[in-house]
Each structure stands twice: as structure tokens, then as C-alpha cells.
Structure 1
Amino acid sequence: MAKKIIIKTELEVFESISELPSSIQNLMNKAHEARENAYAPYSHFKVGATLLLESGEIIPGNNQENAAYPSGLCAERVAIYHAGAVYPSQKIVSLAITARSLKKVITDPIPPCGACRQALVEYEIKQDSNIETYFMGESGKVIKASSIKDLLPLVFNKEYL
């Protein structure tokens, strides 16, 4: 007889950015700035992400599209790969993500895509500490996950290789 596995994720919902701690408001505001510099001529969907390192350094990223669609890269991976390349020994404390469409208003929180979740969890495992993740649309509610594993509970990691 098969057993059931129950996976439970607990997320926090803030009604607006103003309810966040000031350091996270700053991180999200920097994500908004990064979002506006996104290169999204095809999807018209701009995403900004910022990482807060343990040193206090803020690393921005934004989506970078390409006419050969698989060649683009999401904002979260732009930021985390930059942090890994330039600050390889720094732990990532928090991540803020914001998305905006040039076609319609987005007020629902937009989480990282599956590929980004996998890339992010790799760094969380590597540093052996959680990365708090905050995500939102253009405005409105903000969702907080205490760990990337809350967004990707069945993690594929090096233990399987």
C-alpha cells in the first residue's frame, strides 16, 4: 500500500511594501530600480531582483531576453550568478523580486520560475543557510518565504549525483 507524503509550506503575506522591515523595503526598492533596466523587448515582462549579502552589499539583476529565446536569462539568476562570481564566499541573506508587464498591471506577487528556484536552492544548500525571499508584482501584496526550499520542497541536489 502506498504512503502519502504531505508537504506543507508556510508563507507570510504583507499587504504592501510599507509593512516590510526597512532593510527589506530598501532591497525591494532596489529591485524595482533593477526591473526598469530589464531588457525585455519580446515579452514586455520586466523582472528585477536584488540580493542582500551578509556584508550588506546589494547585488541587482534583471531579466535579459534574446531573440533566440532559450538564450535569455531571468533576473534572479543574473543576480545570483553575479554574486557567485564576484562574492563567492559571501552568504546571501535575502532576495527581493518584483515584476511588471508593459501590457497590463500586475498586482499579484510573482514568484521565481522553476529554473530559478533550482539555481537559487543550489546556493542555499552551498551556504548551508536559508535565503529569505520576498516577491511581488508591480505593486500590492508581498509574499515572504523563509527559505527557497519553501518554494521548491522536493529539491534535486548533489546527493543524487
Structure 2
Amino acid sequence: MFHDEKPAYGFVATRVETVLGFGVVICVSRADAVERFDVSLSEYPLGEEVAIFHASAVREGWEGNGIGSALMDARLRFARSAGVDSAVGTAWLRPHTVDSSALFEKMGFERMDTVEDFYRSLDDERECPDCGTPCECSAGIYVWTPADAAD
């Protein structure tokens, strides 16, 4: 996912010395995004510069306190300042866990697709807390463009 010449930017929410949540974003060209993403992005409305929203989580017990929203907002503000035309991210659709779909939609992303067995296709040894090894969970593919955003 990460490119040697393009840095990944991490955003961390803390309380004193405890990490409460994090999120990572990387800004790449459309061609790099299409090449590096795990599903075909060629039909999505991405533009020429794309922010990939990669890896985010909020510590158990701290969900529902706005931490995920603040981290998503910080990454979107960063992406806008970097001049991207769009952003793309995945929601891990675990069957017994609240996923990030609602957060993506709240922040103006549109679900473009649902990919069955997404995580198994990435790594057939990936362990999932819900379905074991290999992970058989699906992913929601979300895209944000400035036209989608409610500024």
C-alpha cells in the first residue's frame, strides 16, 4: 500500500500518554492508487490526485465520543490542503462489530461497492476476531470528492 517516494501521514488522538485512536492517509497519483489498491478503482470518480484513507481505529471503550470523527476530519483537512481530487477508503464489514461505514458516510464519502471476501484476497492468513483465519469479511469501498462533501 505504501510507496517509497510518498510518505504516509499518521494522525493520533491521545489522552495524556494513552493512544485513543489513530488514522493513516497517503496521497498519491490516480495511477498509483489504481496500481496499489486491492480492488479495481478504474471506474471510480477519482481525479488525478488521490488520498488513500488507510488503517484507522478507536480504542475499545472510547467509541462514540467523536474521536473517529475528529481523526477523519483531520485527515480530510490534510487531504484538501494537499490538493487531492478525491479520497478512497475501505470499511471492514465485520459481522458482529460496528464498522466505519457510518463514519465514512457522515463525512461525505459515498459507498461505491461492496467486495465479498475482501480481506481473504489480501492475505489468506489474516486473522479476524469474528470469523477466524482466514478472514472472510467483506469491505465497503468508499470514495469522497469535493462535490460530495458538505462544507
Q: Report the TM-score, using the length of structure 2 for normalisation.
A: 0.35
Per chain length, whose mean CA-contact separation is higher, i.e. which structure has more relative contact order (CA < 8 Å, sep 6+)? 1
- Please identify which structure carries the higher strand content: 2
